[in-house]
């Protein structure tokens, strides 16, 4: 099923695609929790499908440990941006904690 095009996609693109898929799924879950199941289920399903496909292609190119950490960093940033957009921004303490987690992930991957 994997085409030459899919294998030639840059890893960064696939990492961002996976993170974006998980972030879209998270937005869908949030919508379902707010009483919008139709749109939320569609977004959740499409997000998880995108994340699954991009991550499967990515794992053909790189080790799981490296891939997963990179996806976590990108997904965390995207979800935090979404939370801010819907008015659920982080307090200063939470933002500093998130920054420390992201810094720790960066240290582990270097």
Between the two ends of the chain, the Cα-to-Cα distance in Å is: 33
Task: Tell me, yes or no, whether 1 lies in a domain.
Answer: no
pTM for this entry: 0.78
Look at residue 3 and tell me if it is in a domain: no
Q: 9: pLDDT confidence band, cut at 50, 70 and 90? A: low
Q: Is residue 22 part of a domain?
A: yes
Domain count along the chain: 1
Domain that holds residue 33: 9-109
Tokens 């200063």 label which residue?
A: 92
What is the pLDDT, as a whole number, of residue 40?
97
84 in a structural domain: yes
- Asked if the structure places residue 102 within a domain, the reply is yes
Q: With beta carbons less than 8 A apart as the criterion, state whether 68 and 56 touch.
A: no
Distance CA 47, CA 38 (A): 14
């Amino acid at each position: 099923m994997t085409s030459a095009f899919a294998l030639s996609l840059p890893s960064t693109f696939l990492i961002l695609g996976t993170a974006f898929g998980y972030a879209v799924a998270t937005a869908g879950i949030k919508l379902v929790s707010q009483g919008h199941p139709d749109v939320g289920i569609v977004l959740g399903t499409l997000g998880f499908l995108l994340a699954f496909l991009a991550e499967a292609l990515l794992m053909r190119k790189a080790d799981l440990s490296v891939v997963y950490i990179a996806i976590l960093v990108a997904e965390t940033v995207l979800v935090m941006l979404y939370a801010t957009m819907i008015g659920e921004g982080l307090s200063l303490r939470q933002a500093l904690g998130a920054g420390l987690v992201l810094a720790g992930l960066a240290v582990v991957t270097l």
